[in-house]
Chain A
Amino acid sequence: MTRDVVADDRIPPERVALVDLLDRLLAGGVVLTGDLVLSIADVDLVRVSLRAIITSIEAA
């Protein structure tokens, strides 16, 4: 088994670690609602964004 230490810079593309991070930052963490200016707790918004990102990578 390969064991990655988080933020291990041996993981080549920045993106690989980023995707693990996004799993947690966009789906995890305490979700707060109420007096917010904004929260991206709105998962739909995030999915839309990731679709756009994926599309832009494909196009690149």
Chain B
Amino acid sequence: MTGDAGTYVYAVARSAVECPDGVGSVRTVAGAGLVAYVSTVPLAEFGEEPLRRSLEDLDWLSVTARAHHRVVETVAAATPTAPVRLVTVYADDQQVRDLLERRRDDFLDVLSHVTGRREWGVKVYAGHSSEPSATARGGGDARKPEGGDAHKPGNGDARKPGTAYLERRRAGLRGREQVRRQLLARADHMHAALSALSVASCRHRAQDPHLSGRTEMMVLNGAYLVDEGRDEEFAAAAGGLGGDGVEVRLTGPWAPYSFTVMEAR
């Protein structure tokens, strides 16, 4: 390969399976008893400078992430898979073969760790505590007015506006902070309960409401590596954690993206 193309790596597994296109047509590079799933990509798009710009572009990121995911999903559905971080580009196939040789033991460790297990995501949202939890799905547009609902004008026209309002507002802020702490503590308990049913677990950062389209507070964004035989048990446990103003969303099964950490070297 010349200097204007690179080798994009999606995933590493022990065996080769048929794959749909990713960011390009997908082929495999074999070495050390392992198989890397790769595409040849133009460095005009996947070089460092173009990528710095592209990563700012939500459409590009979305298309690329889905393409990457499509390949990883396909491989993971067929064989234990170590997904590779989005946008990992080598100069050529030989470098990928070298990588498989050099990191063989690490890859084998990761692959045996994820064999027979799947990743589940559990997201927990807390609605506004004094309101019934929103039942409308999707969109996530901010229809709900922020606070203050409980004090509709009508019977209060005669009250002193200034002081009463400030008092109420202060009490409201104190109360909200207390509620927030309670919710975070509850999320810690939920995470512990789900972790007990998992082989491994981790917490991702709470999603930005602008990206998730949800106005509620996300108190838990967990990932759990679960033995395949315990999927139902895990799902039931996750479901049992909801209610009381808290909404639980289970996603998955995912390829084990969150559980393929290898020591950097």
Contact = CB atoms under 8 A, between A and B. Distances in A.
Interface of A: 1-4, 6-7, 11-16, 18-41, 45-46, 49-50, 52-54, 56-58
B211 A30 contact: no
A32 B200 CA distance: 21
A21 B138 contact: no
A28 B260 contact: yes
B91 A37 contact: yes
Interface of B: 6, 9, 12, 43, 46-48, 51-52, 55-56, 58, 61-62, 65-66, 68-69, 73, 82-91, 95, 98-99, 103, 107, 110, 119, 121, 123, 137-140, 204-205, 207-208, 210-213, 221, 223, 235, 238-239, 242, 247-254, 257-262, 264-265
B257 A53 contact: no
Given A16-B213, A25-B69, A45-B55, A37 B48 contact: yes
Contacts of B9: 32
A12 B123 CA distance: 17
14 contacts: A1-B250, A2-B249, A4-B249, A4-B251, A7-B73, A13-B140, A22-B61, A25-B86, A32-B9, A32-B103, A39-B88, A40-B55, A40-B85, A46-B55
B88 A56 contact: no
A27 B258 contact: yes
Contacts, number: 179
B250 A32 contact: no
Most buried by A among B204, B211, B235, B252: B211
A29 B6 contact: no
A41 B261 CA distance: 12
Contacts of A3: 235, 239, 249-250
Contacts of B235: 3
Contacts of A57: 58, 210-211
A31 B204 contact: no
Contact of A54 (B85, B99, B205, B211): B211
B65 A22 contact: yes
